[in-house]
Amino acid sequence: MLQKKSTEILVGLFVALGIGALFMLAMKVSNLADFSDERGYQITAQFQNTGGLKVRSPVTMAGVRVGRVAAIELDPISYNAKVTINMHPQFDNIPADTSASIFTAGLLGEQYISLDAGADDFYLQDGDELMLTQSALVLEQVIGQFLYSVAEGN
């Protein structure tokens, strides 16, 4: 009987250890921990070009993450990309005339949306659209423009 009990205890320990390891992978290694606070409000912004922006890319303000990209679609009327942003609920006092730009983290890093606060007295609400946007920098276009301006200069 004692032999059987200790087997059961060891098996219980084994299962607990395995689940503990999964829990550590969830909380410490992966980004599951910041899934729970995603119930915020949604705003949209239209960009001429989103470059390499992806769903779940970070949205930051002054470098602090305030939300994530929820969806990227093509607007059928303006042919711009319509980006839906999930904002964290605690950032509920962002001025309505805030502007959004797509930047790249580092030289080769992933792309993210950076918000620049405006000065409006009204705050962004669920479903609002950001009117001031700046598209992603496409390297080929920049090089093309540079070469063009060099040729002009000569």
Partner 1 sequence: MIGFIRSLGRWGLGTLERLGRGHLFLMHTLAGLPGLFLRPALVIQQLFSVGVLSVLIVLISGLFVGMVLGLQGYNTLVDFGAEESLGVLVSLSLVRELGPVVTALLFAGRAGSALTAEVGLMKSTEQLSGMEMMAVDPVRRVIAPRFLAGFISMPLLAAMFSAIGVIGAFIVGHGLLGVDDGAFWSQMQTKTDWYGDVMNGVIKSIVFGFVVTWIALYEGYDATPTSEGVGRATTRTVVHSAFAILGLDFVLTALMFGDI
Q: Judged by CB under 8 A, does residue 64 bind partner 1?
A: no
**Residues 6 or more apart in contact with residue 10 via CB below 8 angstroms:** none
Closest C-alpha to 84, from 92, 76, 94, 74 = 74
E strand segments, 77-139: 81-87, 99-104, 111-116, 129-130, 132-134
Q: Which stretch binds partner 1 (CB under 8 A): 21-29, 73-81, 96-104, 129-137?
A: 21-29
Phi, psi at 146, each rounded to 5°: -60, -50
Q: Is position 152 an interface residue for partner 1 (rule: CB under 8 A)?
A: no
User: 25-54: which residues touch partner 1 (CB under 8 A)?
Assistant: 25-26, 28-33, 35
Contact range with partner 1 by CB under 8 A, out of 23-31, 38-46, 116-124, 128-136: 23-31
What is the spatial distance between Cα 78 and Cα 88, in angstroms, rounded to a whole number? 28
Contact letters for partner 1, residues 85-124 (x by CB under 8 A): ----------------------------------------
Contact in structure between 136 and 102 (CB atoms under 8 Å)? yes
Which residues are at the interface with partner 1 (CB under 8 A)?
4, 7-8, 10-11, 13-15, 17-22, 24-26, 28-33, 35, 56, 58
